[in-house]
Structure 1
Amino acid sequence: MANQLKLEDILAAMNDTARKNYALTELLAQAFSAFVVSTDNKKAVADFIKSTSSSEQMADAHKHAQTALLKILDSVEVIPTQKH
């Protein structure tokens, strides 16, 4: 059975996939937050995020997602463009 995968290889592939998915999710949250801030909807979206909920089984994960998204939203600032 020379074609059998090693556990380390499987875990490394899963880790790589999880990291890439996290990075994509974080980038999407940053882009979304930049759009929200630039359209002056930060408070409305933050209030909406705070009001959301999930099933009991997902409560901890949902709370983590709320906290992360609110933190990203709060970190975004619009940089005024300079006129020449």
Structure 2
Amino acid sequence: MSKQITLEEVLAGMNDTARKNYAMTELLMQTFSAFAVSTGNKEAIADFIKSTSTTGELVEAHEHAKNVFLKVLDSVKVIPEQKN
């Protein structure tokens, strides 16, 4: 017989998955933001993010995502390459 999974184990698995998805999303935002900044497209991307919207039950989550993305985009700085 297989062992029954406890509620705590289910919640721990969900928490682990949520953390991994958040970390992956954050890394993707950082990578995309670095690309946007390094190619001189920071303002265009910021304007696009600000112009997006949604309806229904995702409105609050969408606003949160926009704010986080704009903060990440704003935090990226281009460090000029040093030549030896």
Q: Report the TM-score when normalising by structure 1.
A: 0.96
Counting matched residue pairs gives: 84
Give 1:2 shift: 5.9
Structure 2: runs of 5+ lacking an equivalent: none
Q: Distance in 2 between matches of 1:38 and 1:11?
A: 40
* Matched position secondary structure for 1:69: helix
Note the aligned Cα RMSD (angstroms): 1.1
Q: Which amino acid aligns with 2:11?
A: L
1:57 to partner: Cα distance:
1.7
- Give the ranges of 4+ consecutive aligned residues of structure 1 lying more than 2 Å apart after TM superposition: none
2:62 maps to 1:62: yes
Please give the secondary structure, in 2, of the residue aligned with 1:12.
helix
The amino acid that maps onto 1:66 is K
**Percent of aligned pairs with the same residue?**
64
Match of 1:19 in 2: 19
Q: Could you tell me how far 1:55 is from its partner in structure 2?
A: 1.6
